[in-house]
Every structure is written in C-alpha cells, then in structure tokens.
Amino acid sequence: MDREVESSKESLHPLTKSPKTIGHYEVKELIGKGGMGEVYLCYDPKTERDVALKRIRPEMHGIPLIRQRFLKEAKIAAQLTHPAILGVYSIEENFQDLFYIMPFIQGKTLKTLLASYRQSKASTIHLVRDFLTICHAVQYAHSKGVLHRDLKPENILIGPFNEVLIYDFGLAEYADMNEESFDDMPVLKSHPDLTRVGKIVGTITYMAPERILEKLDSVQSDIYSLGVILYQILTLKHPFKRQSVKQFKQQAQEEKILDPIDVAPMREIPPLLAKIAMRCLSFKKEHRYQNLKEMISDLEQYFEGKADWVFAARLDPKNPSDWELQETVVLKQTKDWAIYMLSSTLFPGNVKLEAHITLEKGSEGVGFLLGVAHRMEQKGLDSGLTVWIAPNQVRLLRAGIVLKTLCAPQVQEGVSLEIEIEKLYESIQLKIGGKTLFVVPIFLPVTGAHVGLVYKDLQFKMKSFSVSCGSYNARIGCLTIPDTFFANGLYEKALEEYKKISHSFERRSEGLIATFRSGLTLLELNRTDEAFEAFEKLHKTQKGILEWLGKGLSYRKLHEVVEEAKCYEIALNLFRNDAQLILIEEEILFRLEQSKEEGRLGPYLFALIVLKYHLLPKNTPAIHELLQTLEVPPCIDLKDGESLIAFYLMKTKTLETLGQKEALELIENLHNPNHPLVIQFYDWLAKPSLTTTPQHAFGASTAPFSHFPTLRELIDKHSKKGRTIPLQQFLPLELALLKNL
C-alpha cells in the first residue's frame, strides 16, 4: 500500500511547477486547464508514443462528487468508438490520482481556424465537409444515448491530415447534482469556473433556448448547437449576442436571427446551407430537425449537387393572369372530364411545388402538373408528369398514364395537407406533411416547362400554391443547358452540348446521363443508327440499365415493338437487384397503356412481361381488359392469364416454363391438319360464337379495349370478301391461323 502511494507521488519541474511524471508517463508540457481537469502532453515509454493525459485537478481530488463526474466523462468517451470522437486508451485511478489517456493529435481547434479565416476573408465552404463529419459523430453519440451538451468550435479539433475530432464530454448527459448538493460544497463555490451541474450547463452562446428557459436537454438541443457552428462557418459571425443568462431570459422572445446570406452577402453561402442553419436555430425545438438523420440527409443533398430551392412564383387558381390556359379536357385513361390549368410562366430545370390543400367530402382529388408542354406543341396532358392527390391514394402519371399508385392513409377528407413535390434532373419526389411517399427516377427528359393543376370537381380548398426553382452545382448544372435546348426543340445544339459533357465527365454519372440523352436527341433527329451507338457506350457502366432503356426507345422509334419488349425483358433479367430497375418497370407499365394506341400486339407483349415479372397484381383491370378479347379454346387447359397471352403470342419457351404442354403441342403442330388437338381446335373455331365477349375464369368481364374483335370474329371477317383488317390488329396465333385457312 505504502509503495503504491509512494509511486504515485510526482516530481515537479522547478520553474513551471508542472509534474515531471504522472504514473509512468513523462510530462512534456501542459496543454490546457479546465474546471475539473488539466491536460498534459506526455510520452509513454511503454508504447513509445506521445499521448494526451487528462487528470483531475489536485484540489478537486478529494471531492467524491467531482471524482464521480470526472470518471463518468472518461467512461462516456471510452464507450464512444467513432473515428470523429477522440477516444480513450485507458483510465487509471488510485488513492492519490485519477487520469485517463487519449491520442495526441497535433492540430487546431475549429475556433482557431475560424479566427484565422476572419482575418484572411477566405472561403470556408470546404469546412462544411468537416461539419458533416461532426454531425455523423454526434448522430453516433445520440444512438448510444449520449448528449454532448457543449458542442462548440473549441471542442472540435482538426488535424494536419484533415482528422476531425470531437472531444470534451465533460457535460455529457449529466443530471447528478442539484442546488442543495452545490451549496454543500464550499470548494465549488470558491471555483466559479466550474460548471454547476443541475443548473444551466454549457456555453450560453451555443445553448438552445429551452436549455436556458426550461433546463430541458434533448437531441434538438445538440442540433441547435450544431446550427450555431454551421452559421459561424458560413458567415464567420455569431447568429446573436447573448451577454448573460439573465439578459437572455428577459429578451428571449425578442432575439432575432438573420439569414446567413443577409448577414454576410459578400461571402459564398449556398442557399441550401443557409436554410439548414436557420432550421437548426428555430426557437421552438419542434420546428428544428427532429433527428440528425434528417439534417445529414439535407447536408448530403448539398454535396450530391441537388437543387438549392429559390422561390420563383406564387400561383392563385382564382387569378386568371397566373394561367395561360384554363379549359376542360378529357382524361386519357378514365375518359372523365376535368378542368386543366397551365401556368403562364415557364419553369425549366429543377422545380419544386408546395401547396396546402384540404379535400372536402366527395372530392376526387387534385393533380399537380410538372414539365408540361403547351397544347400547341403537344397534346397537353399527353406530355409531362402529374402527381394526383386523392383521399387515401396518390398516383404518379406520365403523359396521362398511371405509372405508380400508392396508398396514402394520411390523405383524408377535411384534413389540411402540406404537399411538396420536387422534380429534379433525374427523379421526382412527393412529400406529404414532411414524410416522403415516393422517389421515382426519371431519366427521360421532360419536354415542357409549364406547371399547373387538373381536377374533376371543386370539392377542395387550396390555401397556397408556390413554385421554387432549383440552382445547381458545377457538376449537375452542366446538364441544364442541353436539357433546355432539348426542351425547346433545338436538337443539334443539345447534341453538341451533351457530347461535350460526355467527354468531360467520362465514366461519371453526369457524363453517362449526357451520353444517354445524346442518344435520345439523335432519335429526335431520326439518326437511329447513331442513337444505338450512343446507347452501346453505356454497356457495363454504372448506368448500364440505360443502355437497354435507350435501345428499347430506339426500337419504338422504328415501330418494332417485339424488339422493344425484348430490350426491357433483358434489362429485367440483367439488373434484377439494381435499385434503378424501376426505370424499366415504369416504362413497361407506361407502354402497357400507351401501346394500345399503336396496335394490338404491343399491349399483349407488355402484359405478358407484367405478369411474368409480377409488376402488377394478376387481377388488375389493365390486364383483365386485355384478357377479355382472348377466347379460351376448350380443347386445351390454360391455367391463368399469363398462359393465355403466351398462347396467343406463340411464346413456346414461356409455355414450356409454365408447364402448358397441350398449348405448346398445339402451336408446334398448327401446320399439321391431321393432329388431334389441331382438329379439335378448328372444330371449335367453326362453331358459331354464342357471345361477343369471351368468358373465362381469369377475372371479371370488362369491355374489350378499343373494340378489338375476338378470335372467331377475326376469322369470320377475314372469310367475307371485301373485308380487311390491319395487320397490327392480329396476334401471332391469329396470323398463323389465317395463313392456314
């Protein structure tokens, strides 16, 4: 025991009065001194490295509660193992001393760096990436149940190799003292630099209002402190001036925080970052980010080059001057009449719509239009995107065709809804009440720049409707110029710009998207062979799925629907685990409806893919509508709709996979009039039809689409002289039968 006490005694430097050693560590210099502890740079002879040693101040050593607090700080830091949190190697305690060992990082605090930038007036935008690292570290601490409670630039260290480290967890998650225990400790009263735990802890200029006014700590309190730090990084100024706790309590409601851009108009401050800082600094914590995941998502949006939104216009449905077009139209799929309103202002590029609406009893909803071309350029609703908000349901449409339908229980009659729709350069996103309902990629360029509204009834109230336009960073913004040329039909100029971007950003995302869009531009110029070559360049790249989308569009241009469908099916097989597969799936669903206007073969080809890859439920009306025109021969057992369509398309491999042996045998012997199955099949065809609408067990009967004739009606019309039917209204089986008659 005596030896242990003796070994803990320290020898002092004669001039500095600093100890020469602490334990077995050789003291080099005193780095800093705080309320409870002091930090030394030491050399560890056992590991032969420099370390930082923090020990409890000698005059505090005999106070049990201070020892407990100091030890708790060490243990919290030791349990947080994150690259951006200064770790703890070991904790050492004996009768005479208490200290812990940390890595020694030779760097500067963020406070020191910001001071140097104030003198040089240099840009600090690069520090935002370090700030994102800090946010990740604090998010990790929160996940472990730890609130830092003293986040500020002097507690953030940035090393010479860009190491970013948070330290000093001395105030983390403490609530172990009260006013009575403070009053019982005269040593604490004699040291006013010590934090009074149980009272207000931390640094007032970084404290959230509720910590000062209500002594409440939460995740949002740390987020507030981070907001102050981001504000300083952007402006090199403090968002407010607080002299004391008393002064703040008296003037809390009068404290105003100016937008960073207004405070430092000469500095480089992206609007998105200013918006993030201001949200963090909201007086009420419920108006701040509710967790760091949300905040980090917005910061990453900045680094990914997504839009910074700038208010562009406020549209009023009752103000005629806001609208270029107001007329009644017929909706493509439902054939219902609707009011169609198109903005008088163009909004090219990235666009965000924000609205507050309330759907009243009996309302069928409201559609928000984006990227719509003028009716003289295209067929109004046949261009652009529509997000339809209806009770319990939202739908995404392209060119008037439903691509996606989602349940939305939050959309109820009589409930005020906060709608937010963002159309970015490669996706469209819908939020209702701040919650994301969908994010859908859109790599096909939108050809118009109008926004608007479409609705079937007046059973809704719209409190506000505003439009914001998005700015870009250098990488993503480069696509804006050729996209604008493309949208205005200046295809040669668009092609030239797309090619420049493809070359400048070779094998990178924006370069590959430019290559894809150059292919689309070549299709508009009717240079199909060159378009195929452009899409081929995407082979085995991160955007490889666009190769097959582009080739499918090329075959559509050539009116080769069979080859088009093959391209999409190849993509479904090659990229089955790719997050961007939705591009192909949405295109197939789009073509399932759109191809009905072109002929009969296309819809059945896409319907077969939909069924084979389970892109829609089997009982969906779109599939039933097609099945109603296909009669089921009684001589063969077709198990489901997929088998029936495959039979009429003469898809032998599909029939074999589905186990349809009789159907496969019939198709393979269709040229043999003596085969028993073929004889039965022709006998069935020769009998008069009992009904004009085929009946089968694949779903409820609906009206045949576009009045396409049934199989026996086709045969009957073909046999009558002077009656002809266009070839696109025949399926492969029907054509084969007509050749044999």
- DSSP structure class, residue 100: E
**Coil, helix or strand at residue 434:** coil
Cβ count within 10 A of residue 12: 12
Closest listed residue to residue 463, CA positions, set 412, 417, 414: 417
**Coil, helix or strand at residue 441:** strand
State how far the alpha carbon of 741 is from the alpha carbons of 686, 714, 715, 735, in Å: 11, 12, 9, 10
Strands 337-343 and 450-455: antiparallel
Write out the two tokens for 270. Answer: 């992206």
Locus of tokens 């890595």 = 103
**Coil, helix or strand at residue 712:** helix
- Determine contact, residues 304/272, Cβ cutoff 8 Å: no
Long-range contacts of 612-619 (CB under 8 A, 24+ apart): 612/642, 612/654, 613/572, 613/585, 615/585, 615/588, 615/589, 616/589, 618/698, 618/699, 619/699
What are φ and ψ of residue 55, in 5° steps?
Answer: -125, 160
Ramachandran region of residue 400, left (φ > 0), alpha (ψ -120 to 50) or beta? left
**Coil, helix or strand at residue 264:** coil
Q: Burial, 95: exposed, middle or buried (Cβ in 10 Å; 0-12, 13-18, 19+)?
A: exposed
Catalytic residue among 44, 97, 130, 150: 150
Closest listed residue to residue 215, CA positions, set 178, 180, 189: 178
What amino acid is encoded at 369 in this protein?
L
Return the exposure string of 469-502: e unless at least 16 CB atoms fall within 10 Å of the residue's CB, then b.
bbbbbebbbbbbbbbbbbbbeebebbbebbbbbb
Cβ count within 10 A of residue 335: 7
The CA distance from 690 to 675, in Å, is 26
The CA distance from 391 to 361, in Å, is 10
**640 included as an active-site residue:** no
Residue 338, strand partner residues: 329
Write out the two tokens for 459. Answer: 């059973």
The CA distance from 654 to 641, in Å, is 12
- DSSP structure class, residue 720: S
What amino acid is encoded at 649 in this protein?
L
Strands 366-372 and 351-359: unpaired
The CA distance from 53 to 309, in Å, is 48
Write out the two tokens for 36. Answer: 């409870």
DSSP state letters, 272-332: HHHHHHHHHT-SSGGGS-SSHHHHHHHHHHHHTTPPEEEEEEE--TT-GGGEEEEEEEE-T
The CA distance from 182 to 66, in Å, is 11
Residues with a catalytic annotation lie at 150
